[in-house]
Chains A and B, each alone.
Chain A
Amino acid sequence: MIKIFAKILLFALPAIIAVVITADKYDNGFIDFHYSKITGEGKSLIIGTSRASQGLIPEIVMQDTHFDSPMLNYAFTSYNSPYNKEYYRAIEMKLDPSTKNGIFILEIDPLAISENENEKTPSHLLSQQYIFHGDPNYEYLYRNVNPFYTLILRNNEGNPNCLPHKDGRLEIILNDSPAKTTERANEKLIAIKKEISHCKISDEKVEWLKKTIDLLKKHGKVILVRIPAWQPIIDAENKGFPNLNKILNEISTTQEIPYFDCSTFALKYAYIDGNHLNQESSKLFSKELNHLILSH
């Protein structure tokens, strides 16, 4: 029996070596929107959806605070990381167990705690992932660059429209002319309204949000935040989910954690597509959040 396993390992060795060499040599370009979150490390974390992924800059949020650093932006998308069992597991696996005084920003987008009555919740991007640390992350690369030889074809090239940072933050670079920005915002508003019309707050996801809070409280301070978006989108969300703030305030009270509803600051900022803060506004909002953290 040992001979069989030994032979399989021997025959698999060239393939394993080829994968490792390829990953080492060719993982420097753009892999996907989320790879830097897997390879990055942080004692403090930003959790949530794409609003947080693009809108919160860890370095600025952490400035002058006394919390364990560095901070990793571990927010994905409302499609890939709603609050559920799989995202909880991904957070648990990524968490540095030695963190005692971290800060954990939980961004709440109503779609992250709701369910679409017409669609089954898709599997989380990381639901099959076993290894959450390491750079390069061979498992993530192998699972997500498919077929694997295409990693060589990418030739370490970047993506002109997307810059993933080492701290996990995602920077999207789009034509920022007023006309294009407005067009994107209007399209996004239509899409979000359509999505909201089929969604309702999920009790199960709210429970998983609470479990996530319980998990993270053991390692430091937890803060709930609702990031601003274009006012018509915020209005649509408030209309579609009238109980949202009530739920979040209740969680804040029972869990004894602060909740910052920054959606009321929508008019102060600018957005690349109505849903996500643009670069300048990301800096400004991260600073705003930093002030809120320091003053709380």
Chain B
Amino acid sequence: MVFNSIHYLFFISVVFVLYFLLPAKQRWKLLLAASVYFYCTFDIKFLVLIAFSIFTSFFLAIKSEETADESKKKLFLHLAIWSSALILAVFKYYNFFAESGTELFASMGIAVSPLLIKIGLPIGLSFYTFQIIGYSLDVYYGVSKAERKLGIYSLYILFFPKLIAGPIEQSQNLLPQLHKEQNFDYNRITSGIKLIAWGLFKKVCIADRLSVFVDMVFSSPEQYSGLQSIIACYFLVFMVYTDFSGYTDMAVGAARIFGFNLIRNFNRPFISQNLTEFWKRWHISLYTWCYEYIYNPLSFNYRNWKQWGIILAIFATLTFSGLWHGAALTFIIYGVLHAIGLTAEYFLSPFRAKMKSTLPSLFYKYVSIAITFHFFLFTLIIFKSDTLSEAFYIIESFTKINISQFGLYLFGDYKIEFLLSFVFVFALLGMEYWQSKTDNYLSFHLKLPSFVRWSAYALMILIVVYFGVIKSNEFVYAQF
């Protein structure tokens, strides 16, 4: 049951009605039941796995908090982390390492026949596993108190708006909210609905539209010219952004309807002037998690190594985050490239400071934005490609362009879709710019007259219904 389906629309409508008909104290139970149902619509057999992870982490966190013995505390922590992490490792990475090992042995002349696991990846596994690990660490370090109600803790993990592709919620944010009784707040609910509509627009009008051309080119790059490949690469950036941020908007909007504030996962990443800033604006929940639980501990533990300790922490964090996306060399290299970029930024910071003070501010700003954007674009090409050779083939096409050949004919039957893509992407960027002028996400429009607002809402729905591309595939990040 994906977010952009009639089934989900019906589901959330029913849950919404029942939620506010129930007494406030009972509402969390409905959300828990709805979340279990939501998960089962993907694959009921994996419910056992997530239940196991929930039960073990719940009880081990309590045990960890209750004991004063430091070694026992550590034991419970490790059990909590590894009981979930091993499941993730087996389902997500076992086949990759088994096949890689086989290739390595084959290169040494040793024939090995690996036992591969032929079972799908449980939906949301990467996301909820990280949430569980983060929670276990928070309890161990005393950042959060262990949750004593199994039902509330289960809801914290299973909460359906964020279950399949995040945001990865930290315990300090969501758990306390689950204990509060949520009232019927008309403005909050309508704000959530608007956010869902906006996310849906991003997904079906932009992401799925761009993906038609992107998938065509990336699946057979040799059939397309350099210019077509380059345009596909630019489309790729906006496709991934609108797919993931669209999903996040729908998740945050759905949670808001029920009275919960989830972490914002994107904050206009394409205005970043450097990679450090970029990673504070892109997939914020993942990088917050990595920063809190990998970078900080490593940089602290290796602080005696001075700058090399920081570099080690950067490489470990970014490589790990690349690997988090999946068991493929391209994902690892994606992470490593960003680590190299951040390290270069670290060493070049005096030079950049000098440039900033020397050059005209607007020039410096926009050149920085362009460099950061294109660095991300190149790494995304590797991220998207199935193999490195495919990625290099596409990157090589950047050297084979002839701007004079640009024309709508390049897009064949995709011409109108190409023009619509441009219009919608510019509309998106314009809206984000306009919305950045206010503190509240999407609330700037409340200052407009009612007639204008209502017309805009109707127009939005008309655009989504009329121009939306309905694809049966899921959101890009749900596969991680």
Check if A268 is an interface residue, CB within 8 A of chain B. Answer: no
Q: Are A149 and B454 touching (Cβ within 8 A)?
A: no
Q: Are A15 and B461 touching (Cβ within 8 A)?
A: yes
Inter-chain CB contacts under 8 Å: number: 55
Chain A: minimal CB distance from B148 (Å): 33
Contact with A along B185-225 (1 / 0, CB 8 A): 01001100100000000000000010000000000000000
Which of these binds chain A: B130-138, B288-296, B298-306, B463-471?
Answer: B463-471
Choose among B189, B462, B469 the residue that contacts A147 (Cβ–Cβ < 8 A).
B469
Check if B348 is an interface residue, CB within 8 A of chain A. Answer: no
Query: Known contacts A1-B20, A11-B454: does B186 contact A143 (CB below 8 Å)?
Result: no
Chain B: minimal CB distance from A12 (Å): 5
Give A286 to B193 CA distance when docked, in angstroms.
Answer: 55
Q: Are A18 and B462 touching (Cβ within 8 A)?
A: yes
Residue of A nearest to B13 (CB): A5
Contact with A along B13-37 (1 / 0, CB 8 A): 1001100100000000000000000
Contacts of B16 in A (CB 8 A): 1
Check if A8 is an interface residue, CB within 8 A of chain B. Answer: yes
Contacts of B184 in A (CB 8 A): 1
Check if A97 is an interface residue, CB within 8 A of chain B. Answer: no
Give A7 to B458 CA distance when docked, in angstroms.
Answer: 10
Check if B340 is an interface residue, CB within 8 A of chain A. Answer: no
Give A5 to B462 CA distance when docked, in angstroms.
Answer: 17
Contacts of B231 in A (CB 8 A): none
Chain A: minimal CB distance from B53 (Å): 27
Residue of A nearest to B471 (CB): A146
Check if A153 is an interface residue, CB within 8 A of chain B. Answer: yes
Q: Are A14 and B461 touching (Cβ within 8 A)?
A: yes
Contact with A along B152-181 (1 / 0, CB 8 A): 000000000000000000000000000000
Residue of B nearest to A12 (CB): B461
Contacts of B416 in A (CB 8 A): 153
Contacts of A11 in B (CB 8 A): 454, 457-458, 461
- Chain A stretch 5-22: residues in CB contact (< 8 A) with chain B: 5, 7-8, 10-16, 18-19
Chain A: minimal CB distance from B428 (Å): 17
Choose among B17, B209, B467 the residue that contacts A1 (Cβ–Cβ < 8 A).
B17
Q: Are A14 and B189 touching (Cβ within 8 A)?
A: no
- Chain B stretch 442-480: residues in CB contact (< 8 A) with chain A: 454, 457-458, 461-462, 464-472
Q: Are B458 and A14 touching (Cβ within 8 A)?
A: yes
Give A139 to B458 CA distance when docked, in angstroms.
Answer: 21
Query: Known contacts A4-B186, A4-B193: does B470 contact A15 (CB below 8 Å)?
Result: no
Query: Known contacts A1-B20, A4-B186, A15-B465: does B470 contact A143 (CB below 8 Å)?
Result: yes
Q: Are A19 and B20 touching (Cβ within 8 A)?
A: no
Contacts of A79 in B (CB 8 A): none
Query: Known contacts A4-B193, A8-B193, A11-B457: does B465 contact A18 (CB below 8 Å)?
Result: yes
- Chain A stretch 98-134: residues in CB contact (< 8 A) with chain B: 123, 128
Contacts of B13 in A (CB 8 A): 5
Contacts of A4 in B (CB 8 A): 186, 189-190, 193
Give A14 to B467 CA distance when docked, in angstroms.
Answer: 14
Give A255 to B186 CA distance when docked, in angstroms.
Answer: 60
Contact with B along A15-55 (1 / 0, CB 8 A): 11011000000000000000000000000000000000000
Give A5 to B186 CA distance when docked, in angstroms.
Answer: 12
Q: Are A15 and B469 touching (Cβ within 8 A)?
A: no
Q: Which residues of A contact B (CB under 8 A)?
A: 1, 3-5, 7-8, 10-16, 18-19, 123, 128, 143, 146-149, 153
Q: List 15 A-B contacts (CB under 8 A).
A: A1-B17, A1-B20, A4-B186, A11-B457, A11-B458, A12-B458, A14-B461, A14-B462, A15-B458, A15-B465, A123-B472, A143-B470, A146-B471, A147-B468, A148-B468
The 9 A-B pairs of least Cβ separation, nearest first, read A15-B465, A15-B462, A11-B457, A11-B458, A15-B461, A14-B458, A149-B466, A146-B470, A147-B469
**Given A3-B186, A123-B472, 19 other A-B residues pairs in contact with their CB atoms under 8 A:** A4-B190, A4-B193, A10-B458, A11-B458, A11-B461, A14-B461, A14-B462, A15-B461, A15-B462, A15-B464, A15-B465, A18-B465, A19-B466, A143-B470, A146-B471, A147-B468, A147-B470, A148-B467, A148-B468
